[in-house]
A and B are shown apart, each in its own frame.
Chain A
Amino acid sequence: MLKIVLENITKAFGKAIAVKNFNLAIEDGDFVTLLGPSGCGKTTTLRMIAGLETPTEGTITIDGKKVFSSKESIDISPDKRDVGLIFQNYALWPHMTVEQNIGFGLENLKWPKDKIASRVKELLAMLKIEGYQKRYPAELSGGQQQRVAIARTLATGPRVLLMDEPLSNLDAKLRTEMRAELKRLHKETGATFIYVTHDQLEAMTLSTKVCLLKDGELQQYESPLAVYHEPANTFVANFVGSPAMNFLLGQGQNINLDQVKIETDGLDMIFTPVSGSVSIRPHQEVIVGIRPEYIAITQESSVQASIYSALPSGMETILKLQVGNHILSSVVFGYMDYQLDSKVNIKFTGDHCALFDKASGNNIATGILELI
């Protein structure tokens, strides 16, 4: 079992702290994404696992072997960690052809020529770039360069594949295509993937586990679905999902042991947690989070909203609704065009609405919201 464990990792650049007391355990065969806004320390974390950056403090263990420990002064060089790294700008060597790029690592391991040739051929086929082996990187499109970079990294058969925003230089269509390829590649190679991205959609669609970072601190480390439905705090809730979650500021009060009444500016509601009971202080400041898909347009409700704007895109329509003093976004399936300022009735559906403490931003409970 190959397991990667980061313990109490801290990285400071001079006075600036990039990663703060960070703990993470990655299981064999996982596809973990490090997700967060730029400057949150995700690339630094990846580079520390690779051995290209030295942590200020902490321990990194790969497959039971300590590769870095500040206390024991262990720092194993990158090439002895059995990791591969794919760079954001691919870092292909411009003076080598595709096959030379892919074969260089094997040459360095003193593989015989014929074995290198067959391994290169195998990789070219795996990444669907046969016929390009004599070309130079500059003569390839972005997507092909990306494939070469992946092939070069896979050549030596590393058991851990690190990727630093590998798709961010591709156009939107190609990115979707490569996402599918990467997911297949993960299965085919059986390697552990650690993937850095700021694109929440990439993290959601690719990974088995998402690790959210903010200002160098771990926010949440769970499966994509858990992150989506039970965000640990308002930062995670806001970062994951598009269009973003609606947040309403209000005051809460227990009306009985397992229900909370929330008064927001002109919109009152009852919150029932799915997990059973919830208790808050009287008049506690809270934030209610509702994902756009849980705001339904329906005649069954008496709560009225007016259409602030409607953005139909064919498959779905994003609506901005004005309710009292709030503007909420809602997503409805299909092409719906509304007259601006026309009136509709809305209600909140589903049992994944979230209740956060305003002061800390932390999740208190998730459950059902009922407008009253």
Chain B
Amino acid sequence: MDANLEEAALILKSSRAKIITRINLPIIMPAILSTFLLVFSSSMSAFAVPAFLGTPVRFQVLTTQLYRTLNGLNPGYGYIMAVVMIVIGLAILAMNQWYLGKRKSFVTVTGKSSNFSLIRFKKSKIPLSVIALLFVVAIAILPLVTFVIESFIMAPGDYSFSNFTTQFWVGKGREDIGGGEPGILLNKYLYMAFWNSLKLSLIVAIVVGIVGGLAGYAIVRGRGTKIASLVNSLAFFPYLLPSMAFGAIYLSMFAKPIGFLPSLYGTFFLLVLIGSVKYLPFASRAGINAMLQLSGEIEEAAIIMGVPWWKRMMKILFPIQKSSFLSGFLLPFISCMRELSLFVLLITPANRVLTTLLFQYNEKGWNQYANGINLLIIIVVLLINLAINKITGASIDKGIGS
């Protein structure tokens, strides 16, 4: 929002309160509402959080029920639930589109937010900073520390020194703990799952990154044509489907051979397939953004010199928008690394990934193992993001921003 809009009101002698209620809020209302709807719909389709926190207190939601029924005796109920979820998700997004399309949508009112005025806190400066810092610590850092501590404690809740153990990290299997599972750093299932996760995320990222980049190129170059908007909608469509329901669809499609569809259930390829389709929207958005920032003339200048398409891509377009295109790889990679609900219905013991292993341990109540794995996932994701960021300057926010 342009600060001038506020200043214009200030010049007309409006009070702060009036500026907020009469200027700021009405202008950003569509954005707030849109955020509300999107958060609502992503919470609707969330599986991991209700599964971890809700199950112990029997707080069931659609997704956890879907998982239970599909894994139990009544898969039919499960499929109905999946359909319900899809309908709800589409309805919410339709509402969002409808609202954004109305005349009162001011999303385009951006502009130079160069002039911001500082508010002097005077004496309250230090307390306010401390409160802000504490807030960040409480929501972001404390949970991490808790994971670390919890994974070293034998009996949960007992923080006496004698209760600390490295059993869950490097201990050999003991019959009385966790069904004889060795500590996670010695656990071959963990290494297998870790390798699977990495392999899956990498392949998905490469496939999606390339396809998404090309889709972005095609959509922007063909802007205004029917086929371009069709490709655009198709590439975005998977975003609208809740992950869990998406998994259910794939389960029903590939569990048994149907017509020309082969039975892919239990194959690694199926995971790559669903991951690629699900994350295509991220990559195609990143590709579209990258292309939109480039004027067509940059490419035409090379066309007129007779530079072939492949060389234009590799020598001109990609290098200029390197970071945007790369975020089209990075985003699917990281999402894939931490994805549970998409894969949980399709995983078989042979191709377990880190998140489903975590989920299994958690279901069995082996919290320390689960915490350890969780910590590992977080560290891997952070490290990879940091590494790519350092090497190429790409970051996740670049692709989806603006």
Contact B303 A52 (CB under 8 A): yes
Complex CA distance for A85 and B306, rounded to whole angstroms: 12
Contact among A93, A95, A109 for B301, CB-based, below 8 A: A93
* A residues less than 8 Å from B319 (CB atoms): 95
Task: Kindly name the residue among B301, B316, B320 whose own CB sees the greatest number of chain A CB atoms within 10 A.
Answer: B301
Question: B169 to nearest A CB, angstroms?
Answer: 46
User: Which residues of chain B from 287 to 330 have a CB within 8 Å of any chain A CB?
Assistant: 295, 297-298, 300-307, 311, 315-316, 319-320
* A residues less than 8 Å from B303 (CB atoms): 52, 77-79
* A residues less than 8 Å from B298 (CB atoms): 91, 93
Contact (A52, B300) CB under 8 Å given A93-B320, A108-B311: yes
Contact B305 A79 (CB under 8 A): yes
* B residues less than 8 Å from A85 (CB atoms): 300-301, 304
Question: Which B residues lie at the A interface, using CB under 8 A?
Answer: 295, 297-298, 300-307, 311, 315-316, 319-320
* A94 (CB) vs chain B CBs: closest residue: B320
* A residues less than 8 Å from B295 (CB atoms): 89, 91
Contact (A108, B300) CB under 8 Å given A91-B295, A93-B320, A95-B320: no
Task: Kindly count the residue-residue contacts between A and B in the assembled complex, taking CB atoms under 8 Å apart.
Answer: 56
* A79 (CB) vs chain B CBs: closest residue: B306
Contact A52 B304 (CB under 8 A): yes
Question: A174 to nearest B CB, angstroms?
Answer: 21
Asked whether A50 is an interface residue with its Cβ less than 8 Å from the other chain, the reply is yes
Complex CA distance for A80 and B306, rounded to whole angstroms: 7
Complex CA distance for A83 and B311, rounded to whole angstroms: 20
Question: A326 to nearest B CB, angstroms?
Answer: 42
Q: Which 6 A-B pairs have the closest CB atoms?
A: A79-B306, A91-B297, A105-B305, A91-B301, A87-B297, A78-B304
Contact among A87, A88, A95, A108 for B307, CB-based, below 8 A: A108
Interface on chain A toward B: helix, strand, loop, or mixed SS? loop
Complex CA distance for A225 and B302, rounded to whole angstroms: 37
The 8 A CB mask of A151-175 against B (1 = contact, 0 = none) is: 0100010000000000000000000
* B residues less than 8 Å from A55 (CB atoms): none
Question: A12 to nearest B CB, angstroms?
Answer: 14
Task: Kindly name the residue among B295, B304, B311, B316 whose own CB sees the greatest number of chain A CB atoms within 10 A.
Answer: B304
Contact (A79, B320) CB under 8 Å given A91-B298, A93-B298, A108-B311: no
Question: B398 to nearest A CB, angstroms?
Answer: 16
Contact B300 A91 (CB under 8 A): yes
User: Which residues of chain A from 30 to 58 have a CB within 8 Å of any chain B CB?
Assistant: 50-52
Asked whether A84 is an interface residue with its Cβ less than 8 Å from the other chain, the reply is yes
Complex CA distance for A95 and B318, rounded to whole angstroms: 10
Question: B216 to nearest A CB, angstroms?
Answer: 19
* B residues less than 8 Å from A94 (CB atoms): 320
For the A-B complex with A78-B303, A93-B320 known, give 19 more contacts whose Cβ atoms are closer than 8 Å: A52-B300, A77-B303, A78-B300, A79-B303, A79-B304, A79-B306, A80-B306, A84-B304, A85-B300, A85-B301, A87-B301, A89-B297, A93-B298, A94-B320, A95-B316, A95-B320, A104-B315, A105-B305, A108-B311
> Would you mind naming 10 contact pairs between A and B with Cβ atoms under 8 Å apart?
A78-B304, A79-B305, A79-B307, A84-B304, A91-B297, A93-B298, A93-B302, A94-B320, A104-B315, A108-B311
* A50 (CB) vs chain B CBs: closest residue: B304
Contact A108 B301 (CB under 8 A): no
User: Which residues of chain A from 52 to 94 have a CB within 8 Å of any chain B CB?
Assistant: 52, 77-80, 83-85, 87-89, 91-94
Task: Kindly name the residue among B297, B311, B315 whose own CB sees the greatest number of chain A CB atoms within 10 A.
Answer: B297
Complex CA distance for A77 and B305, rounded to whole angstroms: 10
* A105 (CB) vs chain B CBs: closest residue: B305
Contact A87 B300 (CB under 8 A): yes
* B residues less than 8 Å from A91 (CB atoms): 295, 297-298, 300-301
Question: A89 to nearest B CB, angstroms?
Answer: 6
Contact A104 B320 (CB under 8 A): no
* B319 (CB) vs chain A CBs: closest residue: A95
Question: B318 to nearest A CB, angstroms?
Answer: 10
Contact A156 B300 (CB under 8 A): no
Complex CA distance for A80 and B303, rounded to whole angstroms: 10
Complex CA distance for A51 and B300, rounded to whole angstroms: 10
* A83 (CB) vs chain B CBs: closest residue: B304
The 8 A CB mask of A88-126 against B (1 = contact, 0 = none) is: 110111110000000011001100000000000000000
Complex CA distance for A89 and B298, rounded to whole angstroms: 9
Contact B304 A108 (CB under 8 A): no
* A residues less than 8 Å from B320 (CB atoms): 93-95
Contact B316 A108 (CB under 8 A): no
* B residues less than 8 Å from A104 (CB atoms): 302, 305, 307, 315
Complex CA distance for A211 and B320, rounded to whole angstroms: 37
Complex CA distance for A104 and B311, rounded to whole angstroms: 11
* B318 (CB) vs chain A CBs: closest residue: A95
Complex CA distance for A72 and B314, rounded to whole angstroms: 35
Question: B320 to nearest A CB, angstroms?
Answer: 5
Question: B130 to nearest A CB, angstroms?
Answer: 41
User: Which residues of chain A from 141 to 157 have a CB within 8 Å of any chain B CB?
Assistant: 152, 156
* A residues less than 8 Å from B316 (CB atoms): 93, 95
Question: A111 to nearest B CB, angstroms?
Answer: 12
* B301 (CB) vs chain A CBs: closest residue: A91
* B306 (CB) vs chain A CBs: closest residue: A79
Question: B313 to nearest A CB, angstroms?
Answer: 13
